[in-house]
A and B are shown apart, each in its own frame.
Chain A
Amino acid sequence: MNQPPRLADRLLEWFCDPLLLEDLQGDLYEIFEARREEGKSTKLLYWWLVIRSFRWSALKKSKKLKNSGLMITKNNFKIALRVLWRDKFNSAVNLLGLTIGITCFLLLGFYVKQEMSYDNFHSKKDRIYRSWLKEDYGEGQIFFNSQTPLRFEALFEENFPEVEKAVQYIEQSFLVGKGENRINERVAIISPDFFEVFDFNMIEGNLNDPLPTRNDVIISQGYAKKYFGENDPIGKVLTLQQGEDDREFNVSGIFQDIPNTSSIRFDIAFSTDNNRDLFGERSMNAWFNVVAETYILLRENTSVAAVNEKMQDVVLELMGDVGYGDGPMQRDQYNIGLQSLTDIHLNPDIPLGYAPVANPQYVFILGGIALLVLIIACINYTTLSTGQSLNRSKEVGIRKVLGARKGGLIYQYLSESILLCMLAMLVGATISYLLIPLFNSLTGTEIFLEFEWWHLVIYFLMALIIGTVSGAYPALILSGFKVIRILRGGNQSTGNLTTRKGMVVLQFLITVFLITTTLIMRKQLQYLQDKDLGFNYKAVVSTALSADPSAQRLSQIISSGMENGELLKARLESHPEISNVAMGTHVFGTSGWANLAHTDDNGIFRWFRMLAVDANYIDAFGIKIIEGRSFEEGNGLDQRQSIILNEAAVKHFNLEDPIGKKLPGSEFGDHQIIGVTEDFHYTSLHSEVEPLVIVQNIIPIASGVSDADFVDSITPKLVFTYNGSNLSEATDILKKEWEEVFPNESWNFAFLDEQIKSQYESEIRMNKLIAIATFLSILIAALGLLGLSLLVVNSKIKEIGIRKVMGASPVSIFRLLAKDFSIQILIAIVLSVPITLWMMNNWLENFAYRTNIGIGLFLISGLASIVVAILVISYHTIRAARINPVESLRNE
C-alpha cells in the first residue's frame, strides 16, 4: 500500500526526460510519502501528479521526437509562411479565391445542413414515427393522408406491444382572447403525454403532466409575453373561441419557444381530452374521418417492420364488417404506414400533414452548387501554384541534394496549401457568420445558427481536406522535379500541360454552367409571373369572411358567409375607387380548392374541383366564357341549379356540346350546364389546370359526391378591385367598413398578386441562392485567370521583347497571349451546353407550363464569360504588350 502505483511510475519513466527523471520522481515520491503519513488517499494523488508532470519542458526530447512529424510540421509551416509572404500578389489572389469559395460553400452549407437536420433535436428521434393512412380501392380511388382518424392513438397503443406510446397532434384555428382584441391563431391539440415523446422544454409547469385537466392550456414563452406581458400567466384565464363556443382555459404551463428546425411548431396547446366536444362523438370511432397526426414512440430494440407485418391482420380484425362501399374491407385496401420523424421535412412523397415540407431536390441542388463553387476555388489554387512551380525549381533542387525525400517534399508543399486554407477558413467562417442575417434577408431563408465550440473541429478538418485536395497536384509536380535537370539549368516539366488546361476548362465549365442555369431559371420564373393566367388579379384585394358560428353543413357555412359578405359588399360598392366586388369560396394563389369525388353511372370514379361563387365572380375576374353564358344577377334558376364548367372539366366528364346537359351521375341533384370557361390557371403553374365545376348553390352537386377533401377553408372570401393610385388606401377602406359591419371580428386582407407570386417562393429563393453562387464563382474564376495571365506574361516576357524588336504590333502580341485562354473558354462553353440542357430540362419538369430554354441564353452567358475573361486577361497582357523591349531584354 505504501508504494506509489506501479503503472503511473512506468508512465512517468516512459515520457520523462531521463536527465530530469531521477529528481522529479524523487520529488513526487516525497510528496506522496508526506501525504500518506497524513493519512490521505494517495494513489489517485500520485496519478494526478504524474499526469500534471506531462508538460513540454519535461518531455523526453529524443532523436525520435526531433525527427517526428511534429517538429517537421512546425518547420514546414514556418517556411510556408515565409513563401506566402514573399510572393504577396499570388498569395493574395489565392487567399481571396479560397476565402470567397469557402464563404459561399459555408453559407449554402448552413442552409443545406439546416434543411437536413430538421427534427434532429429530439433524443428519441430514432424511435418516433408518424403514421399515414392510404386507402386504395382500385381504379384510382386512392385516399392518401398523413392525418389519421382519431382512433389511431388507441389502435396503436392497444394492439401493438412494440409501441411504447402513441400521441396525437392536431392544429385548429381559434379566436384567442376576449372582445375586440381577439386574434385568429393556430392552436395545437395534443395528447397529455405528448412531452414524453418529444423533447420540448417546459419552463413553468409540470413536464410530466403539463395538462392536468381538459380545461388547461399551455403557451410558449413568446405567447406568454404576447398575451400577458410581464405578468405571470400561470393560473390566469385564456379564452379560446371556435364556432359559437367560447371557452375559458386555465394556463397551466409555459414551454420554451419551439426551435425553427422543428416540423411540429405551436404556441398554444390544450388537451385531446376535448376531442369529443370538438369533433363530435362519431369521429371518435370513425375509420374514414382524418383529423389528427398520430405519432408513435416504438420501444427500444423493436422495429417498424414488426409493426407493419401485423398491421393488416389488426386492421381487418378491428374493422369487422366496416367497409368502403359494399362489403367488408379487403386486405391491403386500408393501409396504415409509418414514416420516421426525421424523414418528414424532406419527403414530398408522403402527403402534407400540418408540418411544411421542403423540396429535397432543391436542397441537393444547392448542396451540389456549394460543392461546385468550392471546386472552382480549389482548381484556382491548383492551377496557380502549378503554374508558379517553375520559379521554385532551384529550391527543390537544393533540398533534394541535401537529402530531402519525395514524401517529405510533398508534405512540405502541402503544408503551404493547408496553411493558406486555414487562413482562408478562418476569414471565410468569420465572414459567413457575420453574413448570415444579410444572407437571410437577401434570399428569404431562415438560417438560424448558433456557434458552438466543437464547430471549430469541423472547420479545422474541412480546411485540412480542402488544403490537401487543392495542394496535392502542385505538391506532386514540385516534388517530382529531377535534380540533375535543375542543376544543369534545363527546363522542368511543370506537369502534364493537358491536365492544367483541363482544369482551367473545368473551372470555366462550372462557371458558364452556373451563369446559364441562373439565366434559365430567371427566364422560367419571369415566364411564370408574366403568363396570362386567364383572369385579372392586378390590384385585387381579398378578405376572408366569417360564417355564422352555428352553421354546421357546408351549404350553411357558405350561404351564411355570403350573407355576411353582402353587408360588406354594399358598403364597399359605395366607394368610387372600388369596383368588381364579388364573393367565392376560393380565391387565387392557394393550392387547395375543394376537391370532390364521385362515381358516375358507368362506375367511373372521378375527382374534380368545385368553386361556389356569387353571380358577379366570373365577370369580376374577367374570366372568359367560351361557350354558353355566365351567371346572371338575380336569375333565380342560376342561383338554384345552374353550373359552369371549365374546358378541362368538359374533357374530364367526356361531354360533347355540354350546354344544357348534366354531369354524368344520377345522384347529383337537378342541375344544368349553362356555360364553359376557358382553362384559367387557378392553381400554380406547377400543375395542369384541373377540372372545375363552378356553382352558386352547392347542394345539387354536393349531394352526388362520395368523397371530399378540403385543404383550404371553404368559408367565402370577398374580393374587390381597387382603381385608385394608392394601394394602402384600399386596405384602409376595407378596414373602416369591416369594423363598421363586423365590430367583433378581426379584419384581414391579402393582395392576390402577392399571393400568386408566393406560390413560386421556393423557386425564387433558389434562384437567388444560385445567383449569389454564380456571382461568386465568376469572381473566383476571374481571379484565377488574373493570376494565370500574369504567370504566362512573366514566362514570355523575353519572347514579347524580341517580337517587339522585330516589329510586332501590340495587337498581335495581345492576340498571341489571349489565344490559349480563348480556346479553353470556348471548349468550356461548348461542353457546358449539354450539361446545362440536361439539368435544366430536369428542373423544368417541375412545371406543367414552361418556357423554351432557347439558344439565346447560352449565347449570352458564353459571351458574358468571354468578355469577362478578356477584360481580366487584358490587364496584364496590355501591360506586357506596351512594355519597352529594352526593359525586358536588358538584363540577362
Chain B
Amino acid sequence: MKGEHLGELEELVLLTVGSLVNEAYAVVILEEIKKNTNRSMDVTAIHSVLRRLEKKGFVSSKMGGASKERGGRRKRFFTLTKAGRTVLDQSMELRYSLYQKLPKLTFSIAR
C-alpha cells in the first residue's frame, strides 16, 4: 500500500519529530535538520511532509500557545505516534540487517 512507504525526507522529518519530543513544530524541525544535515529547505516543504505523515498516521498534532514573534499565531506541535515509532523501527532494522550483509572484506581492501 501507498501509506506504508516512507520516503527519505519523510524519514528524516519523522526522526527529527521523535527526537524533539514535545517541542516539534515546523520552524524548529527545519532548523534542526539544517543543523544536523546542512540541508536548507523551505518551511513549506516541511509543512507538506508533516501533513503527509499525519495522513499516514505516523505523527499526531495539536495546536499550542500563541507567541509574540509569530504575530499572535499559535504553533502546531507534532508528536510521534505508535505507528510512527513502529515504522521507524522497521526501517532501522531493515537498514541494519542489510548493512550487516556487506562483506567485511571491503574494509581491508579499502585500507
Instruction: Give A residues with C-beta under 8 Å from B.
Output: 20, 22-31, 33-34, 49, 52-53, 55, 57-58
Contacts and interface: CB of A to CB of B under 8 A. Distances in A.
B51 A57 contact: yes
Interface residues on B, range: 10 to 19
Interface in B45-99: 47-48, 51-52, 63, 69-71, 73-76
Given A31-B27, A52-B42, A58 B47 contact: yes
Interface in B3-55: 25-27, 42-44, 47-48, 51-52
22 contacts: A20-B47, A22-B73, A23-B47, A23-B74, A23-B75, A23-B76, A24-B43, A24-B47, A25-B71, A26-B70, A26-B71, A26-B74, A26-B75, A27-B47, A28-B43, A30-B27, A30-B70, A31-B43, A34-B69, A53-B43, A57-B47, A58-B47
Query: Which of B48, B51, B71 is the most central at the interface, judged by chain A CB atoms within 10 Å of its CB?
Result: B71
B11 to A, nearest CB: 18
A58 B44 CA distance: 8
Contacts of A20: 47, 51
Contacts of B63: 22-23
B44 A52 contact: yes
B73 A25 contact: yes
A27 B42 contact: no
Contacts of B75: 23, 26-27
B44 A24 contact: yes
B26 to A, nearest CB: 5
Nearest to A53: B44
B48 A23 contact: no
A22 B42 contact: no
Given A25-B73, A58-B47, 11 more contacts: A20-B47, A22-B73, A23-B25, A26-B75, A27-B47, A27-B75, A30-B27, A53-B42, A53-B43, A57-B47, A57-B52
B2 to A, nearest CB: 15
A52 B30 CA distance: 15
Contacts of A53: 42-44, 47
A27 B31 CA distance: 12
Contact of A23 (B42, B52, B69, B73): B73
A52 B43 CA distance: 9
B101 to A, nearest CB: 37
Contact of B27 (A22, A27, A55, A57): A27
A164 B102 CA distance: 76
A19 to B, nearest CB: 9
A28 B74 CA distance: 12
A38 to B, nearest CB: 13
A58 B52 CA distance: 11
A702 B67 CA distance: 105
Nearest to B74: A22
Contacts of B69: 29-30, 33-34
Contacts of B70: 26-27, 29-30, 33
The 7 closest A-B pairs by CB, nearest first: A26-B73, A26-B70, A23-B76, A57-B48, A53-B44, A33-B69, A29-B71
Contacts of B43: 24, 27-28, 31, 49, 53
A55 B48 contact: yes
Contacts of B27: 27, 30-31
B contact patch SS: helix
A30 B75 CA distance: 10
A contact patch SS: helix
Contacts of A49: 42-44
A324 B48 CA distance: 86
A210 B25 CA distance: 65
Contacts of B44: 24, 49, 52-53, 55, 58
A57 B50 CA distance: 11
A593 B63 CA distance: 95
Contacts of B51: 20, 57
Contacts of B76: 22-23
Contact of A58 (B25, B48, B71, B73): B48
A316 B15 CA distance: 92
B49 to A, nearest CB: 9
Nearest to B61: A23
A23 B26 contact: yes
B8 to A, nearest CB: 18
A249 B109 CA distance: 66
A178 B63 CA distance: 89
Nearest to A22: B73
A226 to B, nearest CB: 54
Contacts of A25: 71, 73
Nearest to A52: B42
Contacts of B52: 57
Contacts of A28: 43
Nearest to A48: B42
A27 B71 contact: no
Query: Which of A26, A28, A55 is the most central at the interface, judged by chain B CB atoms within 10 Å of its CB?
Result: A26
A53 B73 CA distance: 17
Contacts of A26: 70-71, 73-75
Contacts of A31: 27, 43
B14 to A, nearest CB: 17
Contacts of A27: 25-27, 43, 47, 70, 75
A20 B52 CA distance: 13
A31 B30 CA distance: 10
Contacts of A33: 69-70
A27 B73 CA distance: 9
Contacts of B48: 55, 57-58
B57 to A, nearest CB: 17
A39 to B, nearest CB: 16
A26 B27 CA distance: 9
A450 B43 CA distance: 41
Nearest to A4: B71
Contacts of A57: 47-48, 51-52
Contacts of A52: 42, 44
A874 B70 CA distance: 79
A850 B63 CA distance: 91
Contacts of B71: 25-26, 29
B75 to A, nearest CB: 6
A58 B26 CA distance: 14
Contacts of A55: 44, 48
A24 B47 CA distance: 8
A53 B71 CA distance: 18
A27 to B, nearest CB: 5
B4 to A, nearest CB: 20
A57 B25 CA distance: 18
A27 B50 CA distance: 14
B53 to A, nearest CB: 12
Nearest to A57: B48
A60 to B, nearest CB: 14
A33 B69 CA distance: 6
Given A20-B47, A57-B48, A29 B42 contact: no
A23 B75 CA distance: 5
A12 to B, nearest CB: 10
Nearest to B77: A23
B47 A29 contact: no
A736 B42 CA distance: 79
Nearest to B71: A29
Contacts of B74: 22-23, 26
Contacts of A24: 26, 43-44, 47
Nearest to A20: B47
A240 B40 CA distance: 65
Nearest to B66: A26
B105 to A, nearest CB: 46
A30 to B, nearest CB: 5
Nearest to A3: B71
Contacts of A29: 69-71, 73
A26 B75 CA distance: 7
Query: Which of B44, B48, B69 is the most central at the interface, judged by chain A CB atoms within 10 Å of its CB?
Result: B44
B88 to A, nearest CB: 23
Contacts of A58: 44, 47-48
